[in-house]
Amino acid sequence: MKKKIGVLVMSYGTPKSLDDVEAYYTHIRRGNPPAPEQLKELKDRYEAIVGGVFPLRENTDRQVEELQAELNRLELPDAEFVCYQGLKHTEPFIEDGVRHMAADGIAEAVGIVLAPHYSTMSVGSYIKRAKATAEEAGVRMSFIESYHLHPKLIEAFAQRVSAKLDAFVETGAKREDVKVLFSAHSLPERILSMGDPYRDQLLETSEAVAEKAGVSNWQFTWQSAGRTAEPWLGPDVLDTMKELSEQDVRYMLVSPLGFVSDHLEVLYDLDIEAQQVAEELDVRLMRIDSLNTDRLYMETLADCVLTECRKGA
Ligand code: FEC
């Protein structure tokens, strides 16, 4: 009989419905319920993207299914992979995923996050929670901390950048006149003094994607900063767009490299909010397609899991 290896696939999570937004937001705020106006503002953003449907849930479900299929397609002679979801801010929580594996009799597992870059505030906190539950539940787990320079990931992003640059050319723009704006979720500035690798890893991914796509006209910018009093990493994409338009840049391609799915931070922050600013500035803005279940992305994840398993073998 084949040995079963668990794969805990961790992701941010999204509310189950509009009624669930309050509980979800309270969890993000570490148990502090949002004020009514904050809650309304977040619900309005979800309603604006898809009228109350939450695309991240379906995207994560499909990524997890396809990763399991990809891992088992590789047909290791003595192992079968079983993927479990573990979400940061909603059910099934990271802890639920680990307990589910233990209840299914899985003794050995690998954890991976659907976010390529490591920060103690993002991937680090997913791993910390999974590790603590795995120790309690008696599951031997190892983790992939980042995969931001995996060649297949770089290729997947570069293909998307090239495809949208071609779309610009079809509308009459010159490829070299398009400013490529690589972006990622901002975090509080204090991560820099903590020696966190997040910013450097994002810059490394940006450089590698630009090189692969043959792009020299690019810069990195942040997006989706939290609504808290402390300073967050900047410049924000909206400010970057304003500054570039003052320098007469008319074509911009925003390329979020820190996200792997269509969700609120892409479909609202970029497709609605940044598009509105682009219209005001008379700038033509496009966005690269999200990876979702892109074959190269699934192969990246599968390769990372297999490499981790071989290390432990
Ligand atoms: O579509 C969806 O339902 C979920 C979209 C979503 C993703 C996401 C990814 C990241 N976040 C990261 C950091 C923070 C920090 C805070 C924070 C707050 C929010 C709020 C919403 C939200 N995030 Fe998020 N994030 C998504 C959604 N995020 C909604 C609350 C309202 C707001 O501020 O807009 C501040 C709270 C805190 O201190 O914890 C920090 C990072 C990522 C990318 C890595 C990852 O996926 O884990 C980093 C998707």
Alpha carbon of 22 to ligand 1 centroid (Å): 14
Beta carbon of 306 within 6 Å of any ligand 1 atom: no
Q: Cα–chain-centroid distance for residue 32?
A: 25
pLDDT in tens, 133-149: 999 999 999 999 999 99
Beta carbon of 261 within 6 Å of any ligand 1 atom: no
> Which residue lies with its CA nearest to atom 10 of ligand 1?
185
Alpha carbon of 198 to ligand 1 centroid (Å): 15
Alpha carbon of 226 to ligand 1 centroid (Å): 8
Site to probe by mutation for ligand 1, drawn from 25, 28, 187, 199 as the one with most ligand atoms within 8 Å of Cβ, is: 28
Residue 287, pLDDT score: 98
| Nearest to 8, CA basis, from 136, 128, 124, 98 | 98
Alpha carbon of 196 to ligand 1 centroid (Å): 18
Q: State both tokens at 253.
A: 């391609």
Beta carbon of 46 within 6 Å of any ligand 1 atom: no
Q: Name residues of the chain where pLDDT drops below 70.
A: 51-52, 75, 312-313
DSSP lists the bridge partners of residue 1 as: none
Alpha carbon of 79 to ligand 1 centroid (Å): 35
Residue 161, pLDDT score: 98
Site to probe by mutation for ligand 1, drawn from 121, 224, 232 as the one with most ligand atoms within 8 Å of Cβ, is: 224
Whether the ipTM is more than 0.90: the answer is: yes
pLDDT in tens, 95-115: 999 999 999 999 999 999 999
Q: State both tokens at 160.
A: 């998307």
Alpha carbon of 186 to ligand 1 centroid (Å): 9
Beta carbon of 185 within 6 Å of any ligand 1 atom: yes
Q: How far is CA 225 from CA 50, 179, 188, 243, 279, in A?
A: 22, 22, 8, 18, 22
Q: Which atom belonging to ligand 1 lies closest to the Cα atom of 186?
A: 48
Alpha carbon of 16 to ligand 1 centroid (Å): 16
Beta carbon of 115 within 6 Å of any ligand 1 atom: yes
